[in-house]
A and B are shown apart, each in its own frame.
Chain A
């Protein structure tokens, strides 16, 4: 099977006041249609940079991305993004937020009523039909994230890109949304790339887990196939042998092979000591 999305030798150098900073180097990845892929790695390694390059919001300085035989040069709705902090327009209701996207993508192909039905359908998909005429201020964080997902899904993207979509949520809401996401993925077969910090989340949701090395010049360290049949059930998986092994491997990668050594910030007591001496 031919890959839907292909990253070849992607590299990214940022110009900073202190000279060039090479964030990514030689990132190679092929993703097939319908696959669910997670990106995992320590903070600051370059996950968002990879995702933004695929989205077209950043231009790779080396290599390139090909989606369905076309090179990615700019952002577009066929690569819909679910942003970490929902990014809903605060002056529009949930319905209007999704509608803006739908109108933009299907202006020429759908009639007025079809557009309305499609917006409602997508809000129902994320179980938000009951609150669709509320503004972002009036709904909870988890609900906002749902609307963000509905907006992305409603564009019928070839690839759904998600940057830590559940990062800011409490554990219960997060589990709930993970289940919804699995349901939707099973139903629609959308190709998904998701960034996460959460090892359990990565194993539960993904077909493959892409593990990134620490920066600078970060690249892909290992790729793990998660051979657990779908539909997956979080309770049953807790002591499933494959689940435990996968989890173990990701943890090993993150905390043994790519252990992050960061200098601890100077302790306050030392500063206080110094101040006293000066006085």
Chain B
């Protein structure tokens, strides 16, 4: 026999459906659904009221309804652009096929479609960039954090540098990174765009620190008892790190990784805006420069999407943390 078990958060809805609500379940329903919906509704109302009173040089500030319309038109533009691209490829195929029939020895030249990136293309670019930057930062920060945590010499040597560079804003790094990438990354056949590298390195430089700090603190705070166990067992240095230090530090490490990913996303948008590198930041900047009557609405769509993606990235890390970390109490909301 199969028994259906509901996740606990669904319990109130089941009770509502079967008409058996307890006081606690009403409370849960209020907390989970009714209050959040009320909060959002109030916000939308205030937004609408405020928007009507703000006149900018680009017209009235967009209210929720305008923004919704702009979101729809961004979807339409994307679909139109995809259709154009498909049509272009179809034409090209036809042309090549017919020419090959006349001149079988002709080497066909394939061109790729060069339309302007749509809003959704920009989202894709930003996501790829932020993940690359974050992974690069983690690949540096985790091993370095372990070394700093294990060796007080390394800690003494690195700490001043960490304290110095940690508070630096991405905007200060950006010109340097741009110049260095231009100078160093010279190839005729670039695998990836320079702008991608610039954004990625800037993101890495800025989001390195929380992972680095948290990993090193996690490693330092391995309990003396467990270190004693390791000594009695005569674990060698490698097993000591693998069996004792890393698992102990894992909860702290994940806290750091989550903070890092949040910072990475914030930094990326700023960097894209400033350097006009492809991505959501550039979309916002272009719309701002464009200055049509729809621009503010479109920027507002971007703002909401940026927030939503940031939130989803954080949830993703939270899920990973829940799945991988042994100390469930270390997983905060």
Contacting pair B234 A57 (CB below 8 A)? no
Q: Are B225 and A83 in contact (CB under 8 A)?
A: yes
Let me know if B226 and A91 touch, CB within 8 A: no
Q: How far, in Å, is A48 (CB) from chain B's closest CB?
A: 11
Dominant secondary structure of chain B at its interface with chain A: helix
Taking a contact as CB atoms under 8 Å apart, the answer to whether B243 and A80 are in contact is no
Q: What class of interface size applies to chain A in its complex with B?
A: 20 to 34
B233 lies within 8 A of A100 (CB): yes
Q: A81-B228, A83-B225 are in contact. Are A104 and B244 (CB under 8 A)?
A: no
Decide if B234 touches A104 in the complex (CB within 8 Å). yes
Are B228 and A83 in contact, with the CB atoms below 8 A? yes
- Cβ distance B221 to chain A, nearest Cβ, rounded Å: 14
- A residues less than 8 Å from B228 (CB atoms): 57, 75, 81, 83, 87
Contact of B229 among A74, A89, A135 (CB under 8 A): A89
| Cross-interface CB contact of B327 among A55, A87, A90, A101, cutoff 8 Å | A90
Number of A-B contacts (CB under 8 A): 50
CB distance from B72 to the nearest CB of A (A): 49
- Let me know if B231 is at the binding interface, CB within 8 A: yes
Contact A101 B226 (CB under 8 A): no
Asked if B247 contacts A75 (CB within 8 A), the reply is: no
Looking across the interface, which residue of chain B has its beta carbon closest to that of A79? B232
Contact A89 B244 (CB under 8 A): yes
Q: A56 to B243: give the CA distance in the assembly, Å.
A: 21
Q: Report A-chain residues with C-beta under 8 Å of the C-beta of B233.
A: 77, 100-101, 104-105, 155
Contact partners of A104 in chain B: CB under 8 A: 233-235, 239
Cα of A135 to Cα of B231 in the assembled complex, Å: 22
Q: How far is the CA of A100 from the CA of B247 in the complex (A)?
A: 14
Closest chain A residue to B225 by CB distance?
Answer: A87
A75 touches B226 (CB 8 A): no
Q: A134 CB to closest chain B CB, in angstroms?
A: 13
B225 and A90 within 8 A (CB): no
29 contacts between A and B (CB under 8 A): A56-B231, A57-B228, A57-B231, A74-B231, A74-B234, A75-B228, A75-B232, A75-B234, A76-B232, A77-B232, A77-B234, A79-B232, A81-B228, A83-B225, A83-B228, A85-B225, A87-B223, A87-B225, A87-B226, A87-B228, A89-B229, A89-B243, A90-B327, A91-B247, A91-B326, A100-B233, A100-B243, A104-B235, A104-B239
13 extra interface residue pairs, beta carbon distance < 8 Å, beyond A74-B231, A77-B232, A83-B225? A56-B231, A57-B232, A75-B232, A80-B232, A81-B228, A81-B232, A83-B228, A87-B223, A87-B225, A87-B226, A89-B229, A91-B247, A104-B239
Which of B's residues lie within 8 Å of A, judged by CB? 223, 225-226, 228-229, 231-235, 239, 243-244, 247, 250, 326-327
